[in-house]
Amino acid sequence: MSYLDIAQIFISILVVLVILVQVRESGSGMFGAAQNTARTRRGLEKTLFQFTIVLTVVFVSVSIFSARLG
């Protein structure tokens, strides 16, 4: 198992955890009542959202780099 494989596993676990924290903070959850999707994210919610995007980009980049080397 290479360092890139370990990095992929670690990043994927982080992505899952950050998404689960976001779902818990939203209140009604993913399948709850209709939510106002046009509202503004603020504070910790905005930071988690941005962190999710960064982690996803890093995960995809590491996956592509790993596939190219393999």
Return the amino acid letter for 9.
I
Q: Which percentage of the chain shows pLDDT scores above 70?
A: 79
- Cα–Cα distance, 34 to 28 (Å, whole number): 9
Question: 3 with 47: CB under 8 angstroms?
Answer: no
- The pLDDT confidence band at residue 53, using thresholds 50, 70 and 90, is very high
DSSP state of 28: S
Per-residue pLDDT, 52: 95
Question: 30 with 23: CB under 8 angstroms?
Answer: yes
Q: Which percentage of the chain shows pLDDT scores above 90?
A: 56
Q: What is the mean pLDDT of residues 39-51?
A: 85
- pTM of this structure: 0.74
Residue where the block lists tokens 């689960």: 20
Residue 35: how many other CB atoms lie within 10 Å:
12
